[in-house]
Amino acid sequence: MSCNVVVGVLFLFLCYSNINGSPGYPPSPVRFANRTGIVYTTKGPVRGEILTTVEKNISYASFNGIPFAKPPVGNLRFQAPVEADSWTEALETVGQRKGCPQFDTEYIGDEDCLFINVYTPQTEFNSHHNGTRPVMVWIHGGLFTVGSANSSLFGPDFLLEEDVVVVYIKYRLGALGFLSLNHPNATGNAGLKDQILGLKWVQENMGKFGGDPDQVTIFGYGSGAVSVELLTLSEQSKGLYHRSISMSGSPFNDWVISSTDEAMSNAYLLGSALNLNDSQPEDEFLKALSRAPAQDIVMATQKIFNMKNKSKGTPFDGLFKPVVEDELVSKDAVLSGNLYAKYGRGEFHDLPHLIGFVDAEVAGLFPPTLRYLPGVTDENAGELLDKLVTKVKSMKRPPAHLLSFFKDYEKMRSEGATETEEKEDLINKAVQITSDFFYVSGITTTQWWRAGMTAPIYYYRNSFKDGGLEHTIDGIKLHDVGHNDDLAQIFWMPSLNAETIGNSSSISLRRKRMVRMWTNFAKCGYPTRIDMTDPFLQVKWLPSFVGRNYLEIGENITMKYDLPKLSTE
């Protein structure tokens, strides 16, 4: 299907993504449901169900829980995934499979979690059909520790209404996905290797679901965006995708990469929390970790995290995350060498890329809506912000204007006697400074390195406010858009955007613009039409160069030239 034909189709899509993957929101209602015909994947036949999209009532086929790897248990734990065994009877892929093991107020999940979800506008299936629709593969966020990908959290409805195929990949989290002992059977990055095997499955099977394996876009948010960026650096993912979108995450963010020493230290810290003998030979220690119940590993990890966070930790101090692998130890290294040097030498997949951030990322950590940590309340939010500010103060040479701010902020926090207006200003400045430090500085660094290459890179800042997402600290309403807020501008989530369905409000219009740009990019490699004839997008989004021109996504959508100086500069 040609790009010009596709982008002329009216598309409306909205959904919410909870960063911690909590099933605390209602799933999309099933308006009617019946079984699909059988689709014969490379491993075996599957049968899904026919549903309809939330706004346009377009029929689509839903396949939830197609295995792409063997359950990573026993000797397979901590290792790269192994392709799923074949089956002969039609597998019923309806309902929702459990996510990978994690902590969300309590232990949830199952180690048998390496599944693909496919949502496609194609509803008739036969062996003679060749897929033509672009494919968008979603990689969820959650600090590599929590989260899940299913249609009750990330409703694909609006993307489907733009005639693309949507795929979700589940991958291992926490220690089960990212523990490293620099050992051949525990080299780290198992979660990233899950993503790569999932992308291989997409290449082998998408045509059978109506998707074009030569038009695959990977997109992710937060640590999902980091995953996207790391995949663009990896030889293992070469040829498995053709475009990429990174929303609010970069390998250069302070909270992303573990050193080998740090990763090994955390592995032994986990062993201690599990009462394992850390003085035993490494092979025996790893076998003991492999035998420990998944629930014990998750709960021990949470216990360590809580202890660290009570002292000097922050929400970004995750224990288990990506690590640069030793190529002498790892036969299937996803990450190796110096990442800065790789960007500097242009050693990444030079393909069309879309990258950006929201204008007050850290605001998304705080109450009352979207936040990283369960239990964050207005009463303790100030303490959390204090820890973030303290982390920023650890900069080697903080600029003079920041030193002055820190002095005023600490006085306000200790004395509590500042006028309300001044207090509001200081708290919002603290949010902006910590947002720039933990998110934006790394994202702009990634943009800078990519902008000098051949393939176009599209850069954005999202200041889109819909009035329904309020975050507060000590009773002060925070300004601007926080981390996660913009996911409700892309995915369908009834608790956040049900009121925008089927109307022509300004909020609904801005949401439609977001979805149209993202799906245009997946279809054509550019997010807005060159001739500017799209009624929703009367703007030409120009590729970014080293000068950092970018698209401001706010009340209006406008091109701007040279991003404002960061508060940490």
Beta carbons of 168 and 41 less than 8 angstroms apart: no
The confidence score (pLDDT) of residue 504 equals 77
Decide if pLDDT at 8 tops 70.
no
pLDDT at 19 (0 to 100): 35
How far is it, in rounded angstroms, from Cα 121 to Cα 561?
Answer: 38
Scanning 416-563, the segments in alpha helix (DSSP H) are 420-435, 441-451, 494-497, 506-524
Residue 488's pLDDT band (cuts 50, 70, 90):
confident
Q: Which two tokens stand for residue 15?
A: 């959904």
Separation of alpha carbons 334 and 323, rounded Å: 9
**Which pLDDT value is given to residue 374?**
61
Query: pLDDT tier at 17 (50, 70, 90 boundaries)?
Result: very low
pLDDT of 62: 97
Q: Is the pLDDT of residue 332 over 50?
A: yes
What average pLDDT does range 465-469 have in this prediction?
66
Please write the tens of the pLDDT for every residue from 508-536: 888 889 999 999 999 999 999 877 777 77
- Provide the 3-class DSSP secondary structure of residue 225: helix
Chain segment 189-245, per-residue pLDDT in tens: 999 999 999 999 999 999 999 999 999 999 999 999 999 999 999 999 999 999 999
Reported as a single tens digit per residue, the pLDDT across 295-328 is 999 999 999 988 877 766 677 778 999 999 998 9
Is the model's pLDDT at 20 over the cut of 50?
A: no
**Cβ(53)–Cβ(501) under 8 Å?**
no
